[in-house]
Amino acid sequence: MKTILTNKHISIEARKRALQYYIEPVLMYGCEAWTISKQIQNKLEATEMWFLTRMLRIPWTTKKTNERVLNEANKRRSLVRTIRKRQTTFLGHVMRRGKLEHLVTTGKFEGKRSRGRQREKIMDGLATWLGPGKVSDILAAIKDRNL
């Protein structure tokens, strides 16, 4: 896809569509089950910017800011937002189903907790992304399909 994405004879809009429909789905495969920390979010945003700078054929030595690259491409950052939206839809599907996945996601299964710092859960990441509020409010909104 490098020859298509960096081709000057193809319009930038067509190249952005190729990126959106051919490359991003491969990149986001299985993203519904990811726990996105701040470090992973930064890497995803850097990947998105790397694609845009390659498409616009901007060498890294020009030291352009990300905002200028986004303005040149006439695009907004959308990768992390799309992943979070997919996660909320998948979480709503799991919560409405109410089976084993529901128990695992909410953390209501029996057993001892492991030692050390607890791993970040999907619900923790979505709670920080959706803003202030309790997890119970998020679960109630998911069950009503209001998200």
pLDDT in tens, 17-46: 999 999 999 999 999 888 888 899 999 999
- What distance in Å separates the CA atoms of residue 144 and residue 59, rounded to the nearest whole number? 48
Alpha helices in 2-121 (DSSP H): 2-5, 12-18, 24-27, 38-55, 66-73, 79-97, 100-106
Q: What is the DSSP code (8-state) at residue 77?
A: -
The torsion angles phi and psi of 95, rounded to 5 degrees, stand at -70, -40
Task: Determine the pLDDT at residue 32.
Answer: 87
- CB–CB of 40/34 below 8 Å? yes
- What distance in Å separates the CA atoms of residue 145 and residue 147, rounded to the nearest whole number? 6
Task: Determine the pLDDT at residue 24.
Answer: 92
Q: How confident is the model at residue 106 (pLDDT cuts 50, 70, 90)?
A: low
Mean pLDDT of the chain: 84
Task: Determine the pLDDT at residue 22.
Answer: 92
Task: Determine the pLDDT at residue 108.
Answer: 67
- What distance in Å separates the CA atoms of residue 87 and residue 135, rounded to the nearest whole number? 15
Least confident of 24-38, 45-59, 63-77, 98-112: 98-112
Q: Which has more pLDDT, 89 or 68?
A: 68
Task: Determine the pLDDT at residue 35.
Answer: 85
